[in-house]
Amino acid sequence: MRRIPVEDETRAPSPFIKWVGGKGKLLAQLLPLLPSGVERMRHVEPFSGGAAMFFARRPERAVLRDFNPSLVDTYLAVRDDVDGVIGELELLQMSHAAGSYYGVRERYNLARVGGASRPRSERAAMFIYLNKTCFNGLHRVNRRGEFNVPEGRYKNPRILDEAGLRAASRALRGADIAHAGFEAMLDYVRPGDFVYLDPPYEPVSETASFTAYAAGDGFSRADQTRLRDVVSELDRRGAKIMLSNSDVPFIRELYAKFRIDVVAAPRAINCDARGRGLVSEVLVRNY
Protein backbone atom coordinates (compact mmCIF):
# COMPACT_ATOMS: atom_id res chain seq x y z
CA MET A 1 0.00 0.00 0.00
CA ARG A 2 1.30 3.46 -0.85
CA ARG A 3 2.59 5.53 2.08
CA ILE A 4 1.62 9.11 2.66
CA PRO A 5 2.93 11.59 5.26
CA VAL A 6 1.59 10.94 8.75
CA GLU A 7 0.14 14.44 8.97
CA ASP A 8 -2.05 13.78 5.92
CA GLU A 9 -3.62 10.75 7.58
CA THR A 10 -5.50 13.06 9.97
CA ARG A 11 -6.72 15.49 7.32
CA ALA A 12 -10.40 16.38 7.68
CA PRO A 13 -12.54 15.15 4.77
CA SER A 14 -14.16 17.59 2.38
CA PRO A 15 -15.82 17.40 -1.05
CA PHE A 16 -13.36 16.09 -3.65
CA ILE A 17 -15.45 17.23 -6.62
CA LYS A 18 -16.97 20.58 -7.58
CA TRP A 19 -20.76 20.55 -7.79
CA VAL A 20 -23.25 23.18 -8.88
CA GLY A 21 -24.96 24.56 -5.79
CA GLY A 22 -22.50 22.86 -3.42
CA LYS A 23 -23.02 23.83 0.21
CA GLY A 24 -19.40 24.26 1.31
CA LYS A 25 -19.72 28.04 1.66
CA LEU A 26 -23.07 27.80 3.45
CA LEU A 27 -22.07 25.34 6.17
CA ALA A 28 -21.40 28.08 8.72
CA GLN A 29 -25.06 29.07 8.41
CA LEU A 30 -26.50 25.55 8.13
CA LEU A 31 -24.67 23.62 10.86
CA PRO A 32 -26.02 25.72 13.78
CA LEU A 33 -29.56 24.94 12.54
CA LEU A 34 -29.22 21.15 12.74
CA PRO A 35 -31.73 19.45 15.05
CA SER A 36 -30.93 18.87 18.70
CA GLY A 37 -29.38 15.44 19.20
CA VAL A 38 -28.40 15.10 15.52
CA GLU A 39 -25.16 13.38 16.51
CA ARG A 40 -27.20 10.33 17.54
CA MET A 41 -29.29 10.24 14.35
CA ARG A 42 -28.65 8.37 11.13
CA HIS A 43 -27.64 10.86 8.42
CA VAL A 44 -29.49 10.65 5.08
CA GLU A 45 -28.67 12.63 1.91
CA PRO A 46 -30.81 11.64 -1.11
CA PHE A 47 -29.23 14.35 -3.34
CA SER A 48 -25.60 13.78 -2.44
CA GLY A 49 -23.89 16.00 -5.03
CA GLY A 50 -20.61 17.11 -3.49
CA ALA A 51 -21.80 15.82 -0.07
CA ALA A 52 -20.52 18.89 1.78
CA MET A 53 -22.94 18.36 4.68
CA PHE A 54 -21.91 14.71 5.04
CA PHE A 55 -18.19 15.47 5.00
CA ALA A 56 -18.61 18.34 7.47
CA ARG A 57 -20.58 16.18 9.93
CA ARG A 58 -18.73 12.87 9.46
CA PRO A 59 -21.62 10.86 10.93
CA GLU A 60 -21.04 7.29 12.08
CA ARG A 61 -24.18 6.10 10.24
CA ALA A 62 -25.03 7.53 6.83
CA VAL A 63 -27.09 6.81 3.74
CA LEU A 64 -25.96 8.59 0.57
CA ARG A 65 -28.06 8.43 -2.59
CA ASP A 66 -28.11 10.29 -5.89
CA PHE A 67 -29.91 9.98 -9.22
CA ASN A 68 -26.64 10.50 -11.12
CA PRO A 69 -25.20 6.98 -11.62
CA SER A 70 -21.72 8.21 -12.57
CA LEU A 71 -21.47 10.27 -9.40
CA VAL A 72 -22.56 7.30 -7.28
CA ASP A 73 -20.08 5.08 -9.13
CA THR A 74 -17.32 7.54 -8.25
CA TYR A 75 -18.22 7.60 -4.55
CA LEU A 76 -18.20 3.81 -4.46
CA ALA A 77 -14.78 3.69 -6.12
CA VAL A 78 -13.29 6.23 -3.71
CA ARG A 79 -14.76 4.35 -0.75
CA ASP A 80 -13.73 0.85 -1.85
CA ASP A 81 -10.61 1.32 -4.02
CA VAL A 82 -9.03 4.69 -3.34
CA ASP A 83 -5.57 3.37 -4.31
CA GLY A 84 -6.88 2.39 -7.74
CA VAL A 85 -8.52 5.81 -8.23
CA ILE A 86 -5.34 7.61 -7.19
CA GLY A 87 -3.23 5.50 -9.54
CA GLU A 88 -5.51 6.26 -12.50
CA LEU A 89 -5.58 9.96 -11.65
CA GLU A 90 -1.77 10.05 -11.55
CA LEU A 91 -1.72 8.81 -15.14
CA LEU A 92 -4.31 11.39 -16.20
CA GLN A 93 -2.42 14.17 -14.44
CA MET A 94 0.87 13.24 -16.08
CA SER A 95 -0.69 13.14 -19.55
CA HIS A 96 -2.75 16.31 -19.13
CA ALA A 97 -2.03 18.85 -21.87
CA ALA A 98 -3.85 21.10 -24.29
CA GLY A 99 -6.27 18.95 -26.26
CA SER A 100 -6.16 15.90 -23.97
CA TYR A 101 -9.48 16.79 -22.32
CA TYR A 102 -11.65 15.77 -25.27
CA GLY A 103 -9.92 12.42 -25.63
CA VAL A 104 -10.63 11.64 -21.98
CA ARG A 105 -14.22 12.83 -22.38
CA GLU A 106 -14.72 10.47 -25.31
CA ARG A 107 -13.26 7.51 -23.37
CA TYR A 108 -15.40 8.39 -20.37
CA ASN A 109 -18.59 8.45 -22.43
CA LEU A 110 -17.77 5.02 -23.86
CA ALA A 111 -16.98 3.61 -20.41
CA ARG A 112 -19.48 5.31 -18.07
CA VAL A 113 -21.07 3.12 -15.40
CA GLY A 114 -19.81 -0.26 -16.45
CA GLY A 115 -19.63 0.19 -20.20
CA ALA A 116 -16.71 -1.13 -22.26
CA SER A 117 -15.59 -3.30 -19.30
CA ARG A 118 -13.57 -0.47 -17.74
CA PRO A 119 -12.71 -0.88 -14.02
CA ARG A 120 -14.73 1.29 -11.67
CA SER A 121 -11.54 2.99 -10.44
CA GLU A 122 -10.72 4.08 -14.01
CA ARG A 123 -14.22 5.41 -14.61
CA ALA A 124 -14.11 7.30 -11.32
CA ALA A 125 -10.72 8.83 -12.14
CA MET A 126 -12.02 10.07 -15.49
CA PHE A 127 -15.09 11.51 -13.76
CA ILE A 128 -12.88 13.42 -11.29
CA TYR A 129 -10.48 14.52 -14.05
CA LEU A 130 -13.31 15.92 -16.17
CA ASN A 131 -14.82 17.62 -13.12
CA LYS A 132 -11.50 19.36 -12.37
CA THR A 133 -10.82 20.43 -15.97
CA CYS A 134 -14.23 21.13 -17.54
CA PHE A 135 -15.92 24.53 -17.80
CA ASN A 136 -16.87 25.76 -14.30
CA GLY A 137 -16.93 22.23 -12.89
CA LEU A 138 -20.35 21.63 -14.45
CA HIS A 139 -21.86 18.21 -14.90
CA ARG A 140 -24.26 18.15 -17.84
CA VAL A 141 -25.34 15.27 -20.03
CA ASN A 142 -27.42 14.94 -23.17
CA ARG A 143 -30.45 12.68 -23.60
CA ARG A 144 -28.16 9.73 -24.33
CA GLY A 145 -26.45 10.29 -20.99
CA GLU A 146 -23.22 11.54 -22.61
CA PHE A 147 -21.21 14.14 -20.75
CA ASN A 148 -20.96 17.16 -23.05
CA VAL A 149 -19.43 20.04 -21.05
CA PRO A 150 -16.57 21.80 -22.91
CA GLU A 151 -13.05 22.15 -21.57
CA GLY A 152 -12.39 24.89 -19.03
CA ARG A 153 -9.61 27.44 -19.14
CA TYR A 154 -7.23 26.44 -16.36
CA LYS A 155 -3.48 26.96 -16.40
CA ASN A 156 -2.68 24.37 -13.75
CA PRO A 157 -5.75 22.47 -12.52
CA ARG A 158 -5.33 20.34 -9.41
CA ILE A 159 -6.33 17.01 -10.88
CA LEU A 160 -5.01 14.81 -8.09
CA ASP A 161 -5.36 15.58 -4.38
CA GLU A 162 -4.18 12.32 -2.87
CA ALA A 163 -4.54 13.29 0.78
CA GLY A 164 -8.02 14.68 0.11
CA LEU A 165 -9.14 11.47 -1.61
CA ARG A 166 -7.80 9.34 1.22
CA ALA A 167 -9.60 11.50 3.80
CA ALA A 168 -12.83 11.20 1.79
CA SER A 169 -12.37 7.43 1.52
CA ARG A 170 -12.03 7.11 5.30
CA ALA A 171 -15.18 9.18 5.84
CA LEU A 172 -17.14 7.14 3.29
CA ARG A 173 -16.04 3.80 4.72
CA GLY A 174 -19.19 3.26 6.76
CA ALA A 175 -21.65 4.95 4.41
CA ASP A 176 -24.41 3.09 2.58
CA ILE A 177 -24.07 4.42 -1.01
CA ALA A 178 -26.37 3.62 -3.91
CA HIS A 179 -28.01 5.03 -7.04
CA ALA A 180 -31.64 5.98 -6.42
CA GLY A 181 -34.22 8.69 -6.95
CA PHE A 182 -35.63 10.72 -4.08
CA GLU A 183 -38.92 8.78 -3.88
CA ALA A 184 -36.96 5.71 -2.75
CA MET A 185 -36.62 7.50 0.62
CA LEU A 186 -40.06 6.14 1.41
CA ASP A 187 -38.47 2.67 1.49
CA TYR A 188 -35.50 3.35 3.74
CA VAL A 189 -35.92 6.51 5.85
CA ARG A 190 -36.88 5.63 9.43
CA PRO A 191 -38.32 7.65 12.33
CA GLY A 192 -35.54 9.59 14.02
CA ASP A 193 -33.34 9.87 10.91
CA PHE A 194 -31.92 13.27 9.97
CA VAL A 195 -32.59 13.92 6.27
CA TYR A 196 -30.78 16.75 4.48
CA LEU A 197 -32.20 17.47 1.03
CA ASP A 198 -30.36 19.61 -1.51
CA PRO A 199 -32.34 19.03 -4.73
CA PRO A 200 -31.81 20.81 -8.05
CA TYR A 201 -33.04 24.32 -7.36
CA GLU A 202 -36.16 25.90 -8.76
CA PRO A 203 -34.94 28.53 -11.28
CA VAL A 204 -35.18 32.12 -10.10
CA SER A 205 -35.83 33.19 -13.72
CA GLU A 206 -36.54 31.60 -17.09
CA THR A 207 -32.85 31.87 -18.08
CA ALA A 208 -31.35 30.69 -14.77
CA SER A 209 -32.19 27.00 -14.98
CA PHE A 210 -29.46 24.37 -14.81
CA THR A 211 -31.05 21.15 -13.65
CA ALA A 212 -30.00 18.60 -16.30
CA TYR A 213 -27.39 16.90 -14.12
CA ALA A 214 -28.54 13.44 -15.17
CA ALA A 215 -30.00 12.11 -18.40
CA GLY A 216 -33.56 13.24 -18.93
CA ASP A 217 -35.52 16.46 -18.84
CA GLY A 218 -34.07 17.98 -15.68
CA PHE A 219 -35.96 18.69 -12.45
CA SER A 220 -39.38 20.14 -13.20
CA ARG A 221 -42.03 21.81 -11.06
CA ALA A 222 -43.85 18.50 -11.03
CA ASP A 223 -40.70 16.93 -9.55
CA GLN A 224 -40.51 19.68 -6.92
CA THR A 225 -44.13 18.98 -5.99
CA ARG A 226 -43.51 15.23 -5.78
CA LEU A 227 -40.53 15.93 -3.55
CA ARG A 228 -42.71 18.06 -1.27
CA ASP A 229 -45.16 15.17 -1.01
CA VAL A 230 -42.34 12.81 0.01
CA VAL A 231 -41.08 15.34 2.57
CA SER A 232 -44.59 15.61 4.02
CA GLU A 233 -44.79 11.83 4.39
CA LEU A 234 -41.35 11.63 6.03
CA ASP A 235 -42.43 14.38 8.41
CA ARG A 236 -45.52 12.35 9.31
CA ARG A 237 -43.31 9.33 9.98
CA GLY A 238 -41.06 11.21 12.41
CA ALA A 239 -37.88 12.01 10.48
CA LYS A 240 -36.08 15.31 11.09
CA ILE A 241 -35.84 17.20 7.79
CA MET A 242 -33.79 20.11 6.44
CA LEU A 243 -34.18 21.18 2.80
CA SER A 244 -32.42 23.87 0.76
CA ASN A 245 -33.89 25.56 -2.31
CA SER A 246 -34.29 28.86 -4.13
CA ASP A 247 -36.08 31.70 -2.40
CA VAL A 248 -38.93 31.96 -4.90
CA PRO A 249 -42.71 32.12 -4.35
CA PHE A 250 -43.33 28.62 -5.77
CA ILE A 251 -41.02 26.96 -3.23
CA ARG A 252 -42.40 29.04 -0.35
CA GLU A 253 -45.92 27.99 -1.32
CA LEU A 254 -44.95 24.31 -1.54
CA TYR A 255 -43.48 24.29 1.97
CA ALA A 256 -45.81 26.82 3.62
CA LYS A 257 -46.69 24.45 6.48
CA PHE A 258 -43.02 24.06 7.48
CA ARG A 259 -40.57 26.44 9.12
CA ILE A 260 -38.77 28.55 6.52
CA ASP A 261 -35.56 30.48 7.19
CA VAL A 262 -33.53 32.55 4.74
CA VAL A 263 -29.77 32.18 4.22
CA ALA A 264 -27.43 34.21 2.02
CA ALA A 265 -25.54 32.18 -0.57
CA PRO A 266 -22.67 33.36 -2.82
CA ARG A 267 -23.79 32.64 -6.37
CA ALA A 268 -23.17 33.76 -9.94
CA ILE A 269 -25.62 36.53 -10.74
CA ASN A 270 -25.38 36.45 -14.54
CA CYS A 271 -25.20 33.76 -17.20
CA ASP A 272 -21.43 33.88 -17.81
CA ALA A 273 -20.67 33.43 -14.09
CA ARG A 274 -18.29 36.42 -13.99
CA GLY A 275 -20.60 38.49 -11.84
CA ARG A 276 -21.05 37.14 -8.32
CA GLY A 277 -23.04 38.27 -5.34
CA LEU A 278 -25.17 37.11 -2.41
CA VAL A 279 -28.46 35.44 -3.31
CA SER A 280 -31.10 34.49 -0.75
CA GLU A 281 -32.05 30.83 -0.41
CA VAL A 282 -34.67 29.20 1.77
CA LEU A 283 -33.99 26.58 4.39
CA VAL A 284 -37.04 24.45 5.13
CA ARG A 285 -37.26 22.55 8.41
CA ASN A 286 -39.85 20.50 10.26
CA TYR A 287 -38.37 21.20 13.71
Q: Give the pLDDT band of residue 212 (cuts 50, 70, 90).
A: very low
In tens, the pLDDT along 82-119 reads 999 999 999 999 999 988 999 999 999 998 765 557 89
Within a domain: 75: yes
Within a domain: 151: yes
Q: How many domains does the chain have?
A: 1
Q: Give the pLDDT band of residue 8 (cuts 50, 70, 90).
A: low
Residues in Cβ contact with 172 at an 8 Å cutoff, skipping those fewer than 6 apart: 64, 75, 78, 79
The CATH number assigned to the domain holding 228 equals 3.40.50.150
Within a domain: 1: no
Q: What is the pTM of this model?
A: 0.89
- Please check the confidence at residue 224 and state whether its pLDDT lies above 90: yes
In tens, the pLDDT along 9-49 reads 779 999 999 998 889 989 999 999 999 999 999 999 999 99
Within a domain: 48: yes
pLDDT at 254: 98
- Please check the confidence at residue 203 and state whether its pLDDT lies above 70: yes
Whole-angstrom distance, CA of residue 233 vs CA of residue 231: 5
State the residue range of the domain holding 236.
6-285
Within a domain: 89: yes
- Please check the confidence at residue 213 and state whether its pLDDT lies above 80: no
